[in-house]
C-alpha cells in the first residue's frame, strides 16, 4: 500500500489519465492513487443513495472493483472521476432496490411477530439520544446530515455532488446521467428543502433544551443557514 501521505506527495501533480494508463500497463498498485482521490466523493454519493454508512462503503468497494476490472473500457481521454462516479451511483441504486425487496420480506415477518402478544419490544430502537450530551459542533453536524438525508431522492445526489464535492453543474450532470438544467432545478429544490428542515430541526432542538433562549436559537439558525449558503468549506 502506498499510503495517503505518499499519494499526495509523490502523485499529487499527476493527472488521472496518466495514472489510468500506468495501471492499464500493469502498475496495479497505482490504482490506490485513484481510490484515495475519489474515496470521499464516492462515499458521499453512495451514502446519499443508500442512507447508511456501512452499505455505502460496500457499494463504493464494489464500484472500485468494477472500475478496476473494466478499466480497459474507459475511453481514452474520458474523465475517470465522472466514470467511476456513474459506476458507484448504479451500484448504490442496485443495492437500494435489493434492500427494498428484502425490507418488504422483513416487514411481512415483523407483522407475523407483532401478532404474538409475547413478542419483545425492541426498546433500543425507540431510545432517543440525549442532545445535552453532545457538543455544539457535533449537534450542528448531526442536524446538517439529517437534513441532507431528508432531501428527496434525486435532489439528494445532486446536492452532495454540487455542494459537498463542489462539482460543476456539467460534471454533476455527467456523473448522474441527467441534463444540466435538471441539475440546476434539483439543486434549487434541495437548497430550499434543506433550509426548511434546518429551521425546523434547530427550532425544535432549542425549544427542548433551552426554552427560554429564543434569541440564542435564532442566532444558531442564522449561523447554520450561513454555513449552508457559504458551502462545505465553512463547516
pLDDT in tens, 173-223: 988 989 999 999 999 998 888 888 777 766 655 444 433 345 544 554 455
Q: What is the mean pLDDT of residues 46-66?
A: 90
C-alpha cell at 181: 438544467
Total Cβ atoms within 10 A of residue 6: 14
- Proportion of the chain in helix, strand, coil states, percent, rounded to 5: 80, 0, 20
Q: Is the pLDDT of residue 160 over 60?
A: yes
**What is the number of H-type helices and E-type strands within the chain?**
10, 0
Report d(CA 24, CA 153) in Å as an integer.
Answer: 36
- With cell 422483513, the residue in question is 106
Q: Are 92 and 56 in contact (CB under 8 A)?
A: yes
Least confident span in 8-22, 96-110, 136-150, 159-173: 96-110
Q: Is the pLDDT of residue 74 over 60?
A: yes
C-alpha cell at 36: 484515495
Q: CA angle, 187 as apex, 61 and 180 as ends, to 5°?
A: 85
Percent of the chain exceeding pLDDT 90 equals 26
pLDDT of residue 122: 41
Report d(CA 110, CA 220) in Å as an integer.
Answer: 41
Q: What is the CATH number of domain 133-234?
A: 1.10.10.10
What rounded mean pLDDT belongs to the chain?
75
Q: What is the CATH number of domain 4-98?
A: 1.10.1740.10
Q: Are 225 and 198 in contact (CB under 8 A)?
A: yes
Domain ranges across the chain: 4-98, 133-234
pLDDT tens digit sequence for 107-145 = 555 444 344 434 343 433 333 444 444 466 677 778 778
Report d(CA 67, CA 126) in Å as an integer.
Answer: 40
Q: What is the mean pLDDT of residues 75-94?
A: 90
Report d(CA 226, CA 202) in Å as an integer.
Answer: 14
4-98 and 133-234 agree in CATH topology: no
pLDDT tens digit sequence for 35-53 = 888 989 999 999 988 888 8
Q: What is the mean pLDDT of residues 48-60?
A: 89
Calculate the CA dihedral of residues 186, 187, 192, 198 and round it to 10 degrees: 120
Report d(CA 49, CA 149) in Å as an integer.
Answer: 9
Amino acid at each position: 500500500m502506498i499510503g495517503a501521505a505518499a499519494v499526495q506527495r509523490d502523485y499529487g501533480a499527476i493527472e488521472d489519465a496518466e495514472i489510468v494508463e500506468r495501471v492499464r500497463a500493469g502498475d496495479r498498485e497505482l490504482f490506490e492513487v485513484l481510490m484515495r482521490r475519489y474515496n470521499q466523493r464516492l462515499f458521499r454519493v453512495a451514502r446519499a443513495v443508500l442512507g447508511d454508512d456501512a452499505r455505502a462503503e460496500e457499494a463504493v468497494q464494489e464500484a472500485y472493483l468494477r472500475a478496476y476490472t473494466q478499466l480497459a473500457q474507459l475511453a481514452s481521454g474520458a474523465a475517470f472521476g465522472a466514470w467511476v462516479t456513474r459506476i458507484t451511483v448504479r451500484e448504490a441504486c442496485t443495492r437500494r432496490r435489493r434492500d427494498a425487496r428484502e425490507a418488504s420480506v422483513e416487514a411481512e415477518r415483523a407483522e407475523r411477530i407483532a401478532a404474538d402478544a409475547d413478542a419483545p419490544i425492541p426498546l433500543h430502537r425507540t431510545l432517543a439520544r440525549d442532545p445535552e450530551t453532545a457538543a455544539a459542533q457535533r449537534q450542528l453536524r448531526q442536524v446538517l446530515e439529517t437534513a441532507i438525508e431528508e432531501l428527496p431522492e434525486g435532489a439528494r445526489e445532486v446536492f452532495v455532488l454540487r455542494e459537498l464535492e463542489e462539482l460543476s453543474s456539467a460534471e454533476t450532470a455527467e456523473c448522474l446521467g441527467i441534463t444540466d438544467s435538471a441539475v440546476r432545478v434539483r439543486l434549487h429544490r434541495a437548497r430550499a428543502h434543506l433550509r426548511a428542515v434546518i429551521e425546523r430541526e434547530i427550532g425544535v432542538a432549542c425549544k427542548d433544551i433551552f426554552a427560554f433562549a429564543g434569541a440564542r436559537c435564532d442566532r444558531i439558525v442564522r449561523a447554520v443557514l450561513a454555513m449552508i449558503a457559504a458551502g462545505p468549506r465553512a463547516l
